[in-house]
Structure 1
Amino acid sequence: MRLYHHPMSTCSRRVMLAALHMGTPLELTEVSLLSPDDRRRLVALNPNNKLPVLHDGEFSLTESCAIMQYLADRTHGQTLYPDNILVRADINRWMFWAVQHFAPPISVFCFEHIWKGLIGKGGPDAAELERAGLQVAQFAAVLEQHLSSREWIVGDTLTLADLAIAPSLTYLQQAKLPLTQYPKLLAWFGRVTELEAWKHTMPVW
């Protein structure tokens, strides 16, 4: 199986985390998001022009959480995505929550404080940060409450749910994410950062 990715991409990191933790072998092809030629090739791989993309023979799959689930189904003996239908439903719920609610406003902070300057688009937009900050606060509070009496997102062990949510916080410091008032969330994130898979997928600046 071949994964088209970029090491700075938090969506790509979701897949890399799951694959490394499960010991799922992948052949890697890096796609430069700043290269016009690579961007054109990416559109041929994924009309949405987004990473990551998985090729398994003639089968092509996009969307990071779908790829994570597919790799888990392909990996014998993995524990991140149990067969129990109720546990899977709960994991799925949090994976979808991550991409629908939690990640989008965080991506605004990443763009305004990191990527915008790198591509010559000027400084942070205060209005955009204020708008996104309200959403970050709304959904961080949901996660804080959920983690008030547990160490992991689903059940009592690491699952795909944790690995779908955590990569959004990859640039916690650089993006100046307003999360200091959520101690349970930050403690959970600290546990994720101790994983070997997390350490091996940390982007190098």
Structure 2
Amino acid sequence: MLQILGKASSINVRKVLWACAELGLPFEREDWGSGFKATDVPEFVALNPNAMVPVIRDGEFVLWESNSIIRYLAGRYAGEFLYPGDPCERARCDQWIDWQASELNRAWSYAFLALVRRSPAHQDRQQIELSCANWERHIAILDRQLETTGAFIAGASFSLADIPIALSINRWLETPLQHAAFPALTAYMERLATRPGYVAYCRNGTP
């Protein structure tokens, strides 16, 4: 059975858990990460030299990096309905997955560490305001894309790209800052609320 190493509260672990839910894929999960088993021990570093969650074991195959993992699972377990085989459709999906990992993640970093993690090293008010503004600018990009598709982030159908994007939107909504109104984004999250994987892993059991 597929093994997932990482605590369920981690946004990156939740990507993998949600993908498993969409694929109907059974798994076993072990708690690793802050507050649980330390990831800097030799046992874990042998699996991921970055000492970060998640890591999966699928038989003898070991993989780290959450976006790589969800792509692998969709490719390995008949997930073409999530991750299309057509090169153009797949590239459009990949575009948003990669953008989430690079541009969007970078935008929220300082604000999230300051306002949620309460990091003493991230309490510069000017930097917090700058990060919040940059975060909102990226959320506006998502809102415009959702206005264009009228449905999901990469097009008319739910895809693998919606998993990291929706988790990122949820992080923005749950962070204590001023939230501008984005109607297309709100409607999108309401559409996703019908999916069991969203309820279980994006909203942590909250409809």
TM-score w.r.t. the length of structure 2 is: 0.85
Residue 82 of structure 2: SS of its match in structure 1?
Answer: coil
CA 156–36 in structure 1, closer or farther in 2 if over 3 Å, else same = closer
Whole-angstrom distance in 1 between the partners of 2:123 and 2:22: 36
Residues 32 and 39, structure 1, Cα contact 8 Å, conserved in 2: no
Partner of 1:181: 181
Identity across the alignment (%): 27
Partner of 1:108: 110
Provide the aligned length of Structure 1 versus Structure 2.
201
Residue 197 of structure 2: SS of its match in structure 1?
Answer: helix
Query: Could you tell me how far 1:105 is from its partner in structure 2?
Result: 2.3
1:98 aligns with 2:91: no
1:171 aligns with 2:171: yes
Residue 117 of structure 2: SS of its match in structure 1?
Answer: helix
**Residue identity matched to 1:70:** Y
Query: Could you tell me how far 1:147 is from its partner in structure 2?
Result: 1.2
Q: Deviations over 1:55-105 (max 9, x none)?
A: 122221111111001000111265111211111110001100111111232
Residues 73 and 79, structure 2, Cα contact 8 Å, conserved in 1: no
1:25 aligns with 2:26: yes
Residues 22 and 78, structure 1, Cα contact 8 Å, conserved in 2: no
Residues 15 and 68, structure 1, Cα contact 8 Å, conserved in 2: yes
Query: Could you tell me how far 1:178 is from its partner in structure 2?
Result: 4.4
Greater relative contact order (Cα < 8 A, sep 6+): 1
Whole-angstrom distance in 2 between the partners of 1:186 and 1:124: 30
Which deviates more, 176-185 or 80-89? 176-185
CA 127–173 in structure 1, closer or farther in 2 if over 3 Å, else same = same
In the alignment, structure 2 segments of 5+ residues that lack a partner are none
Query: Could you tell me how far 1:38 is from its partner in structure 2?
Result: 4.3
Residues 106 and 177, structure 1, Cα contact 8 Å, conserved in 2: no
Residue 29 of structure 2: SS of its match in structure 1?
Answer: strand
**Residue identity matched to 2:125:** A
Aligned-residue RMSD, C-alpha: 2.3
**1:1-205 map, 5 Å:** 1-35=2-36, 37-40=38-41, 41-76=43-78, 78-116=80-118, 121=120, 124-149=123-148, 150-201=150-201, 202-203=203-204
**Residue identity matched to 1:169:** I
CA 190–160 in structure 1, closer or farther in 2 if over 3 Å, else same = same
Residues 15 and 67, structure 1, Cα contact 8 Å, conserved in 2: yes
In the alignment, structure 1 segments of 5+ residues that lack a partner are none
CA 90–173 in structure 1, closer or farther in 2 if over 3 Å, else same = closer
Residues 39 and 52, structure 2, Cα contact 8 Å, conserved in 1: no
Whole-angstrom distance in 1 between the partners of 2:173 and 2:95: 27
Query: Could you tell me how far 1:135 is from its partner in structure 2?
Result: 1.9
Q: Deviations over 1:137-166 (max 9, x none)?
A: 332222121111321012211101111211
Whole-angstrom distance in 2 between the partners of 1:162 and 1:96: 12
Query: Could you tell me how far 1:36 is from its partner in structure 2?
Result: 6.9
Which deviates more, 80-89 or 190-199? 190-199
CA 148–163 in structure 1, closer or farther in 2 if over 3 Å, else same = same
